[in-house]
Structure 1
Amino acid sequence: MKRVLVCLVAAAAAVPALAAAPEAAAVPIPPLPTDVLSQAFTGHAARARPMRVLRNPQNPHLAPNGTNSMHNDAYGTNAYAVTGPLGRSLQVRSASYGVSECATIAFDSRGRIVGLCGGLDGFTMRLIDPTTLSQIASLRTSNRDLTSVSNPFTDLCGGTYFYLDNHDRAYVLTTKKQIWRIKVTATGLKHTATYDIASALPGKDCAIATMPDWKGRIFFASQQGRVGAVDPQTHRVRTIRFRGQGIYNSISGDETGAIYVVTDHRLYSVAADRRGAPYVRWSQRYDRGSTQKPGQLSQGSGTTPTLIGKHLVAITDNADPRMHVQFYRRDGHRRHRLVCQAAVFGKGASDTENTLAEAGHGVVVENNYGYTGVQATMLGKSTTPGVARVVVRRGHCRVAWTSKVTAPTSVPKISLGAGLVYVYAKPASNPLDDSWYFTALDVRTGRTVWQQRTGNGIQWNNHYASVYLGPDGAAYIATLAGLVRLADG
């Protein structure tokens, strides 16, 4: 890992410091000497083939669906109605913000990027021009404890997830066990309120995810298995704890007031009672397997719950020898809660640390087996291939297709307007070729339609960051050294 840190710092050394105001020009992600090896674009431009759009309800306390959080909406669908890049004369732009990965981004009412960016020493909220990628403003939200033994590449505490509400206000977790409310203004970012949740998170526990319910309560989940609800008016905090369990992914919610949480043992439906205190509506144990597999942050499901239509919630388990995509009923009926499940990828080589993406009557899942850190994709190496679509109809599941594309850690996204699945791929190659590719698959067949090379080297690694589509259909992917934008010419 020390070698990796040295490479990243060296790559960032050539990048000038970015000022918060006035607007700082976008500095391209710096190339390495070997960043000239592979073909830039392969395949052919797609013809848009729209899919049926499930009209997921809009949480009234979030920015419009598709713009408010890492997983697009309160349902965690990872699907967009907008038409994404089709591969027509693709225009690729990158910008570096130093060793700083904007893992979660949203889009404000002006269409600008609001990104929470983590570096080796802490976290910064950035306001970014969506076309030029120039930084308009920045606000430091957290510092890391540099005396801690925590690995900054896997530490989720206080800087991975945030959400944007319907008034252009970001709700951001911090390493000081607070939730900051940050107003996105015409010219910058302003810290306007602090919700102190430290009393609910004793010891070394920390908050990792946050999402509002349909009444505007600020829910959060902690690494040591706590789920809390904050009254935004009184700031009162109430929690529930799932002892002996950890939480390593984000949370989802629906219009019934339920918040869906996956621990490394169970799937939970949680809601707030009349006093605002969280309670369990129902829970379901799943097969967590026998060990933490390479590619995961815990021994358990690596997914945020994905809600499908009015009735289903989907996750993956961590079963041996093959992981399953599972569909559960959201009504909490104990006897028939598990609707069906389907095994995906090869025996002894399947896991995921990324959320499912809703695709019509089913989901797309990505194989992350073998990603033990950034070193797993260096010197021509890569992880175990696999992207699959699982469909569910009339209570039965089946694997519709499986692609051999290797996507080490990207959260896949679906453009329902284009009929494409976007992943960030890194095929195995020779020791001098660590090229990364923004890749479009046909959502109906799994066929690779086109691939666009972004660059060669560790600085192009997305390291668990998501693919995003902007309101205009442009695509974005965060890397360890900045942000990449792709749009049709």
Structure 2
Amino acid sequence: MAAAVVLATAGTAGPAAAATTPGLGPTGTSLMHGDLWSTDSTPFRGPGRTAHVAASSVPGGACAATFIGSDGMPVSLCTQFVGTSPPTVAVATVTLFDPATAVPLARLQLTKGGLLGGVYGYLDDRNRVVVADGSNAILRVGHRRTAAGWQVYVSDRIDLGRHIPAGDAVTGLAPDFDGRIWFATTHGVVGTVDQAKRVRSMHLPRGEDLGNGLSIRANGASILTTHALYEMRAGADGVPRTVWRRAYDRGSARLPGQLTWGSGTTPTYFGPGGDGWVAIVDNASRPQLIVYDADTGSTVCRMRAFGTSGQGTENSPMAWGNALVIPSTYGYQYPPMAVTGPSVPANAPFVGGSTRIDVTARGCHRVWENNDRLASLPRLSRADGLINGLGYGPYRPGIQQVGPIYYLATDFATGRRVATVRVGDGPVDEPLELTGTIARDGTLWQATVGRMLKIAR
């Protein structure tokens, strides 16, 4: 019965309002986490029960986020294994793909910087990727067809200059409802850029780092550090100010399957009005889901995030109405260059598992928990109620992340699998917890460590 209530009252006010955000591209395909609230949901149906690989290519890098503009062209933020201008390794690029064949058409190599500088970005209303590069500048990167072929180019540059100390780098970028760009850095600088390109910033307490993106609502921003969750608003002068701060249990060390010592979740706005609550999962030895009132910071509810699943996550919770779906990444093996510091324990099996938890003003309630071993950042379709992602077969002791890779579709209402389609093989198609995007026509554009997959109905 709870599932029926959530489906009937699903919060469309939040995601639908993204269309009114100045400077943001098409709804559903312009942000890494689906929308500004980071619900990791989409208004479009995915491939579902008839999924198959319609096309694929080898882009020469791992593409962390893919956007699709009003022109239908897929464009990705990729970490190129080998850059050419200048020669280097593991450098961020903006890569344009053919919408029919998935073949790369053109790419632009960015100035090398922090790992997440080439991960978090968004697509604007002129089909330009907004991203930060290693010189601590915000770039608007467009694409066009010329007589010589497709070209990816920088159409605008905003220098953040003195606002970012040496050794720091932009981690997250997002637009807000007043036409500003919010940015946050690895070491805790939070700032805004207005439409006149004026930059305003402040610094969070020293020692608090960021490893995830920002979430935005109509009257604020949610920012999660390795120590605490912040609700912030921009003052009349554009300087971000803290509305409330809530420390959380960050545990004794980084958990295996997470990137930093602290929560691995991007905060998720959901619930009343579409953004009345904000949810995170902490880094305790038995991680807790914590839901706060977004206006006051008061605790709505908390409970163990997982029962039988692995005890930890690096994924943002998916949200629909008053329900959250949380995939476990505990034990997932990231490349050594991607993680910060040792984990405790050093290794753990990737058991996987996802769980749905419904939230009311009276508390949290677990609706279901399954054994899905999702290895990509999944996307929940509000059109057909299916959760779409890449993953592995059932967990077997002693067998880690090697073998067939599957497209998995799971019913949001029941947690039951409705589609399991083999789309590749490890290690070349290791999903690497990369983010997929569902296009308006139902195609899932999903990168792996070695390929770009176009998974269609």
Same fold (TM over 0.5): yes
1:226 to 2:189 alignment: yes
Distance 1:88 1:347 in 2: 30
Cα deviation digits, residues 67-119 of structure 1 (max 9, x gap): 11111111111111111112226344221111x01101111111211111112
In the other structure, the counterpart of 2:119 is: 160
**Closer/same/farther in 2, CA of residues 271 and 200 from structure 1, 3 Å limit:** same
Question: Where do residues 437-476 of structure 1 align in structure 2 (5 Å cutoff)?
Answer: 437-476=406-445
Deviation, 1:345, is 2.6
Residue 325 of structure 1 aligns with which residue?
A: 289
Matching residue of 1:71: 33
SS in 1 for 2:373: coil
Provide the aligned C-alpha RMSD in A: 2.3
Contact preservation (8 Å) 2:51, 2:421: no
**Offset from partner CA, 1:24-71 (integer Å, 9 cap, x none):** xxxxxxxxxxxxxxxxxxxxxxxxx99845232222321122111111
Retained in 2: the 8 A contact 1:51–1:417?
no
* 1:425 aligned onto 2:352: no
Deviates more, 1:203-212 or 1:233-242: 233-242
Could you say which residue in structure 2 is the equivalent of 1:311? 276
- Deviation of 1:468 after TM superposition, in Å, equals 1.7
Matched residue, 2:359? 392
Query: In 2 relative to 1, CA 156–432 (structure 1 residues): closer, same or farther, beyond 3 Å?
Result: closer
What is the aligned partner in structure 2 of residue 407 from structure 1? Answer: 374
The answer to whether the aligner puts 1:130 opposite 2:99 as a matched pair is: yes
Q: Give the letter aligned to residue 244 of structure 1.
A: G
Aligned with 1:253 (options 216, 233, 239): 216
2:261 corresponds to = 299
Counterpart residue identity of residue 113, structure 1: P
- Inter-CA distance 387–249: structure 2 relative to 1 (3 Å threshold): same
- Alpha-carbon separation, structure 2, partners of 1:90 and 1:234: 45
TM-score by length of 2: 0.86
Bigger Cα displacement from structure 2, 167-176 vs 247-256: 167-176
Do 2:77 and 2:92's aligned partners in 1 also have CA atoms closer than 8 Å?
Answer: yes
Larger strand proportion, structure 1 or 2? 2
Per the alignment, residue 102 of structure 1 pairs with: 63
**1:180 alignment partner AA:** L
Which residue of the partner structure matches residue 12 of structure 2?
A: 54
Assess, with a 3 A threshold, how the Cα gap between structure 1 residues 324 and 131 changes in structure 2: closer, same or farther: farther
2:112 aligned partner, one-letter code: N
In structure 2, distance between residues paired with 1:374 and 1:439: 23
Aligned to 1:31: none
SS of alignment partner, residue 428 of structure 2: helix
| Corresponding letter in the other structure for 1:247 | L
Q: Does the C-alpha gap of structure 1 residues 431 and 61 become closer, same or farther in structure 2, counting only changes over 3 Å?
A: closer
Sort the Cα spacing of 1:101 and 1:439 in 2 relative to 1 into closer, same or farther, 3 A. Answer: same
Equivalent pair of 1:240/1:278 in contact (CA under 8 Å): no
Distance of aligned partners of 1:94 and 1:331 in 2 relative to their CA distance in 1, 3 Å threshold? same
Contact 1:423 1:438 in 2 (8 A): yes
Equivalent AA in structure 2 for residue 328 of structure 1: Y
State the SS of the aligned residue for 2:365: strand
Structure 1 residue 383 and structure 2 residue 350: aligned? yes
SS at match of 2:49: coil
Matched, 1:206 2:169: yes
| Cα shift at 1:272 | 1.4
Report how far residue 372 of structure 1 moved.
3.2
Which structure 2 residues correspond to residues 1-40 of structure 1 after superposition, within 5 A? none
> Which of 221, 224, 248 in structure 2 is aligned with 1:262?
224
SS in 2 for 1:460: coil
Identity of aligned residues (%): 31
Corresponding letter in the other structure for 1:54: T
- For residues 176-220 of structure 1, give each alpha carbon's deviation from its aligned partner in whole angstroms, at most 9, with x where no partner exists: 211111223455433122111232221211111101121122111
Q: Secondary structure at the match of 2:254?
A: coil
The amino acid of 1:173's aligned partner reads: A
CA distance in 2, matches of 1:221, 1:163: 14
In 2, Cα distance between equivalents of 1:193 and 1:178: 10
CA contact (8 A) 2:92 2:109 kept: yes
Gaps of at least 5 residues in structure 2 are 1-6, 82-88, 337-347
Pair 1:170-2:129 in alignment: yes
Specify whether residues 93 and 270 from structure 1 end up closer, same or farther in structure 2 by C-alpha distance, changes over 3 A only.
same
Residue 156 of structure 2 aligns to a residue in which SS?
strand
Tell me, in whole angstroms, the C-alpha distance in 1 between the residues paired with 2:433 and 2:71.
Answer: 27
Offset at 1:313? 1.0
